[in-house]
Structure 1
Amino acid sequence: MIHFHMPAKELFILQLKHGGIPEKIYRTLDIKEKMMLEKRRGRYFLKDDERRKIRVVLTGGVFDILHAGHVFTLYEAKKFGDVLVVVVATDRTVKKFKKRKPVNSEEYRAFIVNALKPVDVAIVGRKNFQETIDLVKPDVVVFGYDQKEFPVKGAKIVKLKKGVGEKKFKTSRIIKELEL
């Protein structure tokens, strides 16, 4: 079997998908890859010096009914780094802030977003945003033109100036038109 060396970017994505690389996967890695990792709480994570070699971009949203505005935002966000991590809002968060039940479940929404070309990995948000920040440790956080921005310690904040067809591509408008 031919084994290709996984760069730090791929190890980081693997780490995010599993909440740390599990022992079973770690055992399949080559020695160069293992040297890039350290064990914490029974799982493996990129060493800090390896993590600093990649620029991680974080963005997030509900992504309930995917539309061109979402796709545009993700392509724009990807331009700011090597790895684009997308946090999909939990069902609980949608109910709390949007005052409505999501049309699609958080798992479904994350699955769909993860399939989009600019996205390296989509994850469902944690219990609170700080837990998500601590997990991802982004270098850049990108907010869409219609999102409220807030500071994230250690990360550059980017607020997109525009969307695509701002009024036309809004989930709330689509839901209203479809009478959902």
Structure 2
Amino acid sequence: MEKYKIGYTQGVYDMFHIGHLNLLNNAKKYCDRLVVGVNSDRLVEAYKNKTPVIDENSRQYIVGNIKAVDECIVADTLDKIEMHKKIGFDVIFIGDDWKGNSRWKQTELEMKKIGVSVIYLPHTSGISSTELRTVQNKKVGE
């Protein structure tokens, strides 16, 4: 396994769960330093049309306290070129459930041009913040 200097991953990390932890722990195995971007509330509302259950500052605090995470920032953009200018990572991590997605195919091309690797990590099946929110809403409606 190739070892990278600075790795980066980005996500909402709302209602932090085992899938999030697995992704971060797997990512750390590939790099000396792992930087994690937590999507801002404004960004999540803009592209997902939902308000996170947990606010951005709390999500940043939670993710920043995970042993595998060396630095956690609030991200205001999905533009990985812009994030690369701020952080200077040499590898970016994403769950393999995004493999083949048109946005990630484009990201792969952009990253290749600047010498950044894209690594798809195993997605933990059967768990997501969306699923947790659905289960919670069902319980509230009972």
Instruction: Give, in angstroms, the shift of residue 79 of structure 1.
Output: 1.1
Q: Please identify which structure carries the higher helix content.
A: 2
Q: What is the letter of the counterpart of residue 142 of structure 1?
A: F
Q: What is the letter of the counterpart of residue 91 of structure 2?
A: V
Q: Please identify which structure carries the higher strand content.
A: 2
Matches of 1:128 and 1:65, distance apart in 2:
20
Q: What is the letter of the counterpart of residue 131 of structure 2?
A: R
Give the 4+ runs in structure 1 shifted more than 4 A: none
Matches of 1:105 and 1:146, distance apart in 2:
25
Matches of 2:48 and 2:76, distance apart in 1:
18
Partner of 1:175: 133
Matches of 2:90 and 2:64, distance apart in 1:
20
Match of 1:143 among 94, 97, 109: 94
TM-score, with normalisation over the residues of structure 1? 0.64
Larger radius of gyration: 1
1:163 match: secondary structure: coil
Gaps of 5+ in 1: 1-53
Instruction: Give, in angstroms, the shift of residue 127 of structure 1.
Output: 4.6
Percentage of matched positions with identical amino acids: 31
Q: What is the letter of the counterpart of residue 15 of structure 2?
A: I
CA change 1:69–1:128 in 2 (3 A) is closer
- Number of residue pairs the alignment of both structures matches: 124
Q: Provide Cα deviations, 1:31-54, integer angstroms capped at 9, x if missing partner.
A: xxxxxxxxxxxxxxxxxxxxxxx7
TM-score, with normalisation over the residues of structure 2? 0.80
CA contact (8 A) 2:37 2:75 kept: yes
Q: CA RMSD in A?
A: 1.7
Matches of 2:56 and 2:87, distance apart in 1:
18
Matches of 1:163 and 1:128, distance apart in 2:
20
Matches of 1:71 and 1:99, distance apart in 2:
25
Matches of 2:78 and 2:65, distance apart in 1:
25
Greater RCO, 1 or 2 (C-alpha within 8 Å, sep 6+): 2
Partner of 2:8: 58
